[in-house]
A and B are shown apart, each in its own frame.
Chain A
Amino acid sequence: MLEIKDLHASAGGVEILKGIDLKIEAGEVHALMGPNGSGKSTLSNVLAGRPSVEVSRGSVTYLGRDLLAMKPEQRAREGIFLAFQYPVEIPGVTNSYFMKASLNALRRHRGEEELDAIDFLELVRAKMKQVDIDESFLNRAINEGFSGGEKKRNEVLQMALLEPRLAILDETDSGLDIDALRIVAAGVNAMRSPDRAMLIITHYQRLLDYVVPDHVHVLSEGRIARSGGKELALELEERGYGWLEQEPGEAPSPQ
């Protein structure tokens, strides 16, 4: 589904990604871990198409197409979804208006009929139940005055609604208390399916107790320092990230 080859990218003139290789197939859940500043968020931004991140080398192929040539909205319409680490507050636009506009933009692209207000409400209510979100969310401005946990749940709600093919969750677990984490994890697990892939970016092992990944990668200084199965996450939890830099001998196994 997604193949990243020798990806180099910089932000603000500083090279952050220094040669990433990663392959994700449909149905797989990949976890990308790594210390602060290792480039996790830069990678997610490259995949979503943030204009301020510059790709200097390498390629990203998504469903056989050159992802880097696509605008952010085209990527979204083709099924890429990024749950933001810091969801943006947008005053004056209600969540429901936004989500309906977003869903209908997708549906138009897929050649499906747009949902009217009533059908949309029915659908979104069902999804809100899944992520335990209060109905008052609908009429609040996008993320405005939301707590950290509410913002993250709102991201998961949007993901559930837009049903992406490739979901990228950028530190969706950080700042959540254990109850919120369970809710978010349940929302993510409910989305697992044979034709959907997920890339879960996290700093901690915690979320992976609830969402068990098929593959774990460790990002360090802009490169994937190590890849393995779910046990790699446990090892990181025990030993921290420091040992990776000391033992660079083991070559990363490309997935």
Chain B
Amino acid sequence: MKPLDAARERWISLAEKFAAERADDDAWLRDLRAESLARFADQGFPNTKQEEWRYTRVTPMAEVPFQLGCPATTPVTRSAIEDKASPVFACSLYVFVDGRFEPALSALATRTDVHVESLRALDTAIEPPLGSLVDTKQHPFAALSTALLDDGAVLRVPKGAQVTDPLHLVFVATGSREPRATQPRLFIDASENSRVQVIQDFVSLSDDVGLTNGVSEIRVGAGAQVDLVTIQRENAGSFHFSNVSARLGRDARFSHHNLTLGGRLVRNDLEVVLEEEGADCTLNGLFIGAGEQVIDNHTLLDHAVPHGTSRQLYKGILGGRSRGVFRGRVIVRPNAQKTVAYQSNPNLLLTTGARVDSKPQLEIYANDVKCGHGSSIGQLDQDAIFYLRTRALSEPRARQLLTRGFAQQILAALPVAALTEGLNEPLGDRLAEATSSPGSKP
């Protein structure tokens, strides 16, 4: 049997065993898992002959005999988490250890402006239903994640509520010699005219191989605003698959800021549907590759109705022998007149061994729209390096400063000012890794 087929069988039996263990869960949840498992079984793991996966082989992940996440055997301390995650602890902190919510490690303010629940603590099905905002027919990893749904954060922002301090969700992988897989779920339902900012932070506490296969479902109601920051800084042995699916209502605003700083094989799928008129979407991304890392970003922006606006800016910095992918699809449906959609993907290659594939894809079926895209792949500007050196800075320092400058645009645009500040050091460390990882210099 081919490795991908063998892996499919293995994961199906894992899911079946999981379902049997969880026979007492609510019917809606069991049904959702069963339906999702069927969808995963239909699709199996993707291979590079499929257009959506042509740049990324998932075989290295499929070959690992993952076990499902279980509570950490060694106790996790708050200080270990603070050490790894961004210091934005003034806001509410929700800690998930190997996929499970840990109230004892969290800093839970009593709040009335937003309902935050652990998925496991939900006593009834929610509306819109969990799993309804993500397309599991087209996304095998999202289907698998849902088939194994265990825990996660469910955020419901009532009508008109203005959540002024960001909610910080930290997903901790403790690691173990037997590689573990977790399926973190985030569900945000922002009702009419509400506003919320959420930080999703993925960290590892060890160097053990792990798999994070997460799904974030977001509904932004009429006139509401959701800002989501995703920081992925897992260890260099981690496989990370993430699906962010958002649906925007009338005059809704959604921004996503996707910082990929860690992992071995990373795949980010983003799907945003502008379902009603006047919606606005910003997708920003920064991905920094080092060593042999593979970071694959796929975005899909679906302008389904008139008067929607969207802008995407994904910046890649690739060092060592790392590989980056940006594939950005924008669909403007036949009646989506007056759409404004821009997309940009500049990339910086730090070594000759690094590589990036950039594929913007505009599919425009309406005639009165303003759309544009651009991508570039380049090296550091020699004139700029020389300029900085004539100001007494060493060549490595000049390169570092220019690389940092390239990333700054994404950092400066983060909706939480404290994050911009707090990420300074981890970002610097990450850039140093990318700059120093082997791969001959251009």
Contact in complex: B408, A92 (CB < 8 Å) = yes
Scan A61-99; emit 1 where CB is below 8 A from any B CB, else 0.
000000000011101110011101001101111000010
CA gap between A141 and B405 in the complex, in Å: 9
| Distance, CA A188 to CA B93, complexed state (A) | 55
Q: Does A9 contact B (CB under 8 A)?
A: no
Q: Which residues of B contact A106 (CB under 8 A)?
A: 392
User: Which B386-430 residues sit within 8 Å CB-CB of chain A?
Assistant: 386-395, 397, 401-402, 404-409, 412
Which residues of B have CB within 8 Å of A80?
390
Contact indicator B402/A71 (Cβ below 8 Å): no
Q: Is the pair B387, A90 in contact by a Cβ cutoff of 8 Å?
A: yes
Docked complex Cα distance between A81 and B390 (Å): 7
Cβ contact within 8 Å between A98 and B391: yes
User: Does A213 sit at the interface, judged by CB under 8 A?
Assistant: no
- A59 within 8 Å of B by Cβ? no
B382 at the A/B interface (Cβ < 8 Å)? Answer: yes
Q: How far is the CB of A55 from chain B (nearest CB, A)?
A: 16
CB neighbours of A88 from chain B (8 A): 381, 383-384, 386-387
A52 at the interface (CB under 8 A from B): yes
Q: Is the CB of A73 within 8 A of B381?
A: no
Q: With A88-B383, A88-B387, A90-B384 in contact, do A102 and B393 touch (Cβ < 8 Å)?
A: yes
Q: Is A222 an interface residue (CB 8 A)?
A: no
Partner of B390, one of A72, A91, A101, A109: A72
User: Is there an interface contact between B382 and A48, defined as CB atoms closer than 8 Å?
Assistant: no
Which A residues lie within 8 Å of B389 (CB)? Answer: 49, 71-73, 76
- CA A102 – CA B389 in complex, angstroms? 9
| Cβ-Cβ contact count across A and B, 8 Å cutoff | 80
| Nearest CB in chain B: distance from A103 CB, A | 8
Q: Indicate if the CB atoms of A48 and B391 lie closer than 8 Å.
A: no
Q: Flag whether A131 is at the interface (Cβ < 8 A).
A: no
Which A residues lie within 8 Å of B405 (CB)? 90-93, 141
Most A CB contacts (10 A, CB to CB) among B381, B386, B392, B394 go to B392
**A91 touching B408, Cβ below 8 Å:** yes
Contact between chains at B392 and A102 (CB < 8 Å): yes
What's the Cα separation between A101 and B402 when bound, in Å?
A: 13
Q: Chain B 369-389, CB within 8 Å of chain A: the 1/0 string?
A: 000000000000111101111
Q: A48-B390, A88-B381, A90-B387 are in contact. Are A101 and B401 (CB under 8 A)?
A: yes
Q: Is A183 an interface residue (CB 8 A)?
A: no
Q: A73-B392, A102-B392, A109-B392 are in contact. Are A93 and B386 (CB under 8 A)?
A: no
Contact yes or no, A102 B383, CB < 8 A = no
Q: Are B404 and A162 in contact (CB under 8 A)?
A: no
Most buried by A among B391, B393, B401, B406: B391
For residue B361, give the distance in angstroms from its CB to the closest CB of chain A.
27
In the bound complex, residues from chain A placing their C-beta under 8 Å from that of B409 are: 91-92
**Chain A proximity mask over B287-310: 1 for CB below 8 Å, otherwise 0:** 000000000000000000000000
User: Contacts A88-B384, A92-B407 known; A82 to B390 CB distance under 8 Å?
Assistant: yes
Q: Does A105 contact B (CB under 8 A)?
A: yes
**Smallest distance from the beta carbon of A142 to chain B beta carbons, Å?**
8
**Which residues of chain A are near B388, meaning CB under 8 Å?**
90, 98, 102
Cα distance A162–B393 in the bound complex, in angstroms? 12
Contacts of A76 in B (CB 8 A): 389-392
Query: Is A51 positioned at the interface, with any CB of B under 8 Å from its CB?
Result: yes
Can you list 26 residue pairs at the A/B interface with Cβ under 8 Å?
A: A48-B386, A49-B386, A49-B389, A49-B390, A51-B382, A51-B386, A71-B395, A73-B390, A73-B392, A73-B394, A73-B395, A75-B390, A76-B389, A87-B387, A88-B383, A90-B384, A90-B402, A91-B406, A91-B409, A92-B405, A92-B407, A93-B404, A98-B388, A98-B401, A101-B393, A105-B397
Given contacts A88-B387, A92-B412, A106-B392, 11 further A-B contacts (CB under 8 A): A49-B389, A50-B386, A72-B386, A73-B392, A76-B389, A84-B387, A93-B402, A101-B401, A102-B392, A102-B393, A105-B397
